[in-house]
Amino acid sequence: MTLHPDLTLPASDELDSLTPEELAARLNGLSGTLAERLGIELLTASRERLTARMPVEGNRQPAGRLHGGASLALAEELASIGTWLHLDVRRQVGVGVDVSGTHVRGVSEGWVTAEATLAYRGRTVMVWTVEVRDERGRTTTLARCTCNVVTHSAG
């Protein structure tokens, strides 16, 4: 399995010494990723909770509202990163295997903010709940993402 060449997660002891904002800053901006294309910006990151924001501009469906697929991609991005923070990335990787959501309110402009919370942590699977909100704090999407932990060769 080939990992992104710029991906460098802190060691476990260093991870615990970083604030959620410092960790998010280190994880932002991997070029050539869907997160970059969607304009996703991590705000905070920890093993149990992550937040990020994403612009509506550039992520609309033809009717002018935020595309539901963009909201689900935001949810999976946070769940995947959160899963990775529990792993030894020299030999393990977290991959989203199921993402579902209910879009309860449309958004036509501005930014949305997502908060992902670890709901279940097992040895080979983690489940995250994600709430996406508009700039007024109103819920727009409720999502759940399941990530599998895959072991790969270190070489």
Condensed to tens digits (0 to 9), the pLDDT of residues 20-78 reads: 999 898 888 778 889 999 999 999 999 999 999 999 999 999 999 999 999 999 999 99
Q: What is the mean pLDDT of the chain?
A: 92
Q: Say which residue the tokens 């930014």 belong to.
A: 111
Task: Determine the pLDDT at residue 1.
Answer: 56
Minimum mean pLDDT range among 7-16, 92-101, 104-113, 125-134: 7-16
Sign, CA dihedral 76-2-86-120, equals positive
Roughly how many angstroms between the first and final C-alpha of the chain, as a whole number? Answer: 9
Could you give the residue numbers annotated as active site?
A: 76
Query: Residue 142: CA atoms inside 13 Å, Cβ hemisphere, count?
Result: 4
Domains of the chain and CATH, by start: 12-151 (3.10.129.10)
H helices present in the chain, as ranges: 12-17, 20-27, 34-38, 68-84
Q: Say which residue the tokens 């792993």 belong to.
A: 87
9 has pLDDT over 80: no
118 has pLDDT over 80: yes
Neighbours of 131 (CB within 10 A): 16
Mean pLDDT value across residues 84-112: 94
Whether the Cβ atoms of residue 116 and residue 50 lie closer than 8 Å to each other: yes
